Structure 1
């Protein structure tokens, strides 16, 4: 948690703003992962 988002779980748990920031970052990472997977699938098609 600390390496990825710059805070420990205790801080994440008690600070609403930090939690919202972390969840926004997670959402962006998730969407980026979907894009990467879609690109990989498209590039495999002959």
Structure 2
């Protein structure tokens, strides 16, 4: 089992809990939680890229 070794701050902890409703220690310890968070991050990234593309297209008109 691979465990992420990172130094993290209380701000990072707050952001993780606020955005994904999970503490950072759980994120590091549980593979299924980490995969759920990363899938959500990927979907949010894709949505943001689509939004940027739409805005860019609208500005060019």
Q: Same fold (TM over 0.5)?
A: yes
Q: Where is the helix percentage greater, Structure 1 or Structure 2?
A: 1
Q: Any gaps of 5 or more consecutive residues in structure 1?
A: none
TM-score normalised over the length of structure 2: 0.73
Higher relative contact order (CA 8 A, sep 6+): 2
Matched, 1:45 2:60: yes
When normalised by structure 1's length, the TM-score is: 0.96
Over 2 Å off, 4+ runs: none
User: In the comparison of the two structures, how many residue pairs are matched?
Assistant: 46
The CA RMSD measured in Å over matched residues stands at 0.5
